[in-house]
Structure 1
């Protein structure tokens, strides 16, 4: 028995002398590498190979679609011993009854080892089992319980006294049920002492590496590459296909061959297979130029945050050059980039995330925002990733997983991350490290093409007592570290974010004045476009509005905007409602009367 044989198949081989019935479930529709001969086998063929090696005389298979087949007949079996025909019956209405009759006849033959493989068993294990299926299961149990007898007079005795495994132990009759899930089988079958459950797992790292060694030579240029390049390609394919079946890996290599992908870029074919898309914006030849030329336009959009803009664009530049994870000496499966925006409210954290989405993907709507204050309860995890099986809404999926599945190329903004429940924060460990997440239905969602952005206000209020900008930054960083390590006890999440924490500056008076001027111009444009009215602000009125807006700088840009709304937009609405058909409104004075603002117009 080869050491490269899958563990579940080795268990099957070793337990044949003592096990009557098997439940083989899990990844049963996949292919398997059995041994070191490089051949991929189906689950049934792998089981059949084991049975033949263990000197079974007859191996029958029942398939709900194909009917009853004789997969193997030993050399010493003659036609009158049993049914030697290659094909015993099509999948007709009476096929189940016929296979039950066949199994019943096999119980009367004591000198032959008989195995019955029932493929597609989950199609038979329904809630309302028919009489025919119930009879089949009872007959199968009798066949499996029938002892194999070695008769010294029997001329076959010498041949069967020692099994093909060389263990000197004769296997008994065996019934193998191959289905999708163990839970599909009837309870009495699952719980019987004579039943062994074998779950076929997804390929392990070692198995994926073995598959890569077998498949990658089909790529153009692989054989001509040096040993280091070939070894790196094999390791890359094995590392990036976690959770992928052998059939999937075979399809990935076929896709790479069709696209002319170089062995060293095999991860591009993996991405195409997992996401279902061929073209990636991250591989756009114009992306590098867009990122390099975006600094000035982004700084104009996010005022007063030159350092934050520069650090954020550096992360994009790294991803555009394919250097994400370069320090690890390999290509990692995590997101394309991770950013943690920290600082006071209203300083442009969300606006910068939108600007990055436009730089990367050419559209601001490639930005998806999640307000994490809505996920402060433990049960809200189901809303984010989907309810588990058996719960209401299971089939609907989760807000996050659905969004990423539909739009894998996006900027994901998790606003006020510190307000999320710690159990929900644990989900980000897998996202940030491996770039994937399993949703409530058990499906894997990949984040490898996303830019992850967190925002936080931690420490921002206390930092205002510091007059020095560097001191404010240190205070905010210390509070973030304390919150994640001491309060949440999630230092591992902070370690995955690494040095990607970007601290935003408070809004200065100069920046506040720029924002106020921008908001005033926006009001003038809106009135012209929506009401057809030319709005004129006298210089002194404009100066008074800007001065009033600067009184609320502690609330950042939002504070400036709220003053413009209260001091200009609200009283202007009253003026426009009373102005009738006037095409021009000139604001000549501004006054605050108690808690309200009043405009003087002409």
Structure 2
């Protein structure tokens, strides 16, 4: 268990090392098992009680603002002062010994040398808030360097002291957020310093927190008395499922968080069956779980909408819907995302449109589709844009684009477009998202992905970037088409694209573990827009574009067969189909809507007219124009 592990290490190394750095979950509160009051203690108070029980005679706290001080109950600070009789500046003032860490007159080194170097009494100094003694470990003033150098000198003088028939070290314990808040040269390869990580409660500890009598303490007494009978006997299995779901949702939470959730549960009179909802509300600050509102009717409507909005991709949509249905039904996925999909295939085939449709139907708003163009993250430092800059760097206050977006809207579709264009180092972040379901930004805030669907898109296997050298020696990057809709069948496209993606992760990146987290079964391959489907998309786009014009002006637009035939011939050309449905949409806009608008403007046609487009042709400049007439 996490707490026992670090406590066990502390008990072992207090006898060996004069300096122990405790880093990680140092702001949490902990239950000291020998405390009859069963209260939660701050880490500094916990350590004081632990060291006192271990036989230490004098234990002093220290922080930069207050200096050295005791716990307020004994005379430790007076005993501590007596050990510093050879340091002239030591004086007790208001039960404290003032001592700034790194000013010109700092006596921190002398004081520590005095108390650590004697053998009469076992002494421990707990240095609280040690991450805040200096501004930056990478840009230290001379006074700050001297303070740490004097501490190192004092540690070398630390003596063994006999306690209860055994020997222990006079020790200094530093409590820091992260060990690299200290200067590297102070702790790295320093035989006098041991670093111990204080973890958040592991799954077994979190389960213990809501088991037995502890579970009863989670609920208002009236709620408990009303609900518990339904979870006895055959209902016991359901109660265990609720507890396991709660444990999964609280991965990475501190003891303080668990205590806070217990208070929330009691104050808001949550029912026992709502135990997982307490964690969701505590994490996201919203009561409404959008997943819980999805009905079978919603799923059927989504599937029908996808088939009508994304034409020619029935096989891909079927795979998408399997993931969606699993995401709705299977709730106990811990912190990991509700679903993961990898959309691959040619451009303009409906990958982004599918993601938007999922956001609209599952979460009620297309704006819940959060898109990141990964071509903007090609540099090795691009992860700072996603997660936020570290402390001291420009942009630190703004946070990260990804972490901010998920924190503001945890119920969302997160679309990482053209993932292969991102710098490989960023893929490590995706590994953490897919595995742990959480990310910590540059400010130290953690966001969770447990209510989102993650979608990656890629053109791997369809196009590849190659270098092309011009006759004058200039090198540029161009895209080369690897597959041809006229030569490769739908099955050949799917096999080739899937194989290319696997090879990319396994051999090009040498990161098969990322593909394993995504899941090969979650690769969804979109086919080329072939001629038959191009006709359907053309009809759909003509209808939508003309409807927009008719709504704006209340006109009625009629398309003659010759005009439609012109559009159809252009829609099925290779140059158009290379851009898929997006190419057909652009064709309708440029070859029908734009010249029609010009015709209406040039002829000063009033709103509400009945216009017949007889044909579309190119003028002398190669621009499309319409021959039309107004029907009276």
Please give the TM-score of this superposition, normalised by the length of structure 1. 0.78
1:474 to 495, 499, 502: 495
- Counterparts of 2:197 and 2:487, CA distance in 1: 61
1:309 to 317, 334, 338: 317
Structure 1 partner of 2:602: 578
CA deviation after TM superposition for structure 1 residue 196, in Å: 5.0
Change (3 A) 1:61 1:430: closer
CA contact (8 A) 1:232 1:264 kept: no
RMSD over aligned Cα atoms:
4.5
CA contact (8 A) 1:61 1:119 kept: yes
Report the count of equivalent residues: 572
Please give the TM-score of this superposition, normalised by the length of structure 2. 0.75
CA contact (8 A) 2:2 2:201 kept: no
- Counterparts of 2:151 and 2:384, CA distance in 1: 44
Structure 1 partner of 2:472: none
CA contact (8 A) 1:466 1:472 kept: no
Structure 2 partner of 1:599: 626
Structure 2 partner of 1:216: 215
Task: State which drifts further: 237-246 or 56-65.
Answer: 56-65
**SS of 2:483's equivalent?**
helix
Structure 2 partner of 1:46: 46
1:292 correspondence with 2:300: yes
Change (3 A) 1:33 1:550: same
CA deviation after TM superposition for structure 1 residue 568, in Å: 1.8
- Counterparts of 1:525 and 1:42, CA distance in 2: 66
1:282 to 261, 267, 291: 291
CA deviation after TM superposition for structure 1 residue 188, in Å: 9.1
1:563 to 587, 590, 595: 587
Change (3 A) 1:369 1:72: same
2:613 to 563, 587, 595: 587
Structure 2 partner of 1:546: 568
CA contact (8 A) 1:110 1:147 kept: yes
Change (3 A) 1:124 1:232: same
1:516 to 525, 538, 542: 538
Change (3 A) 1:549 1:256: same
CA contact (8 A) 1:143 1:173 kept: no
Q: Map residues 414-563 of structure 1 onto 2, 5 A cutoff.
A: 414-460=416-462, 462=483, 464-465=485-486, 468-498=489-519, 499-530=521-552, 535-551=557-573, 552-563=576-587
Q: Map residues 143-182 of structure 1 onto 2, 5 A cutoff.
A: 162-163=163-164, 168-171=165-168, 173-182=170-179
1:341 correspondence with 2:343: yes
CA-to-aligned-CA distance 1:255-308 (integer Å, 9 cap, x gap) = 345555566764433333233333220112x54431133332332222233333
- Counterparts of 1:16 and 1:497, CA distance in 2: 44
**SS of 1:600's equivalent?**
strand
- Counterparts of 1:495 and 1:293, CA distance in 2: 31
Structure 1 stretches lacking a partner, 5+ long: 83-87, 150-160, 325-329
- Counterparts of 1:509 and 1:473, CA distance in 2: 18
- Counterparts of 1:179 and 1:413, CA distance in 2: 37
Q: Map residues 366-385 of structure 1 onto 2, 5 A cutoff.
A: 366-385=368-387
Structure 2 stretches lacking a partner, 5+ long: 84-91, 219-223, 463-481
CA deviation after TM superposition for structure 1 residue 433, in Å: 2.5
Change (3 A) 1:389 1:121: closer
Q: Map residues 63-82 of structure 1 onto 2, 5 A cutoff.
A: 68-70=69-71, 73=74
- Counterparts of 2:442 and 2:147, CA distance in 1: 37
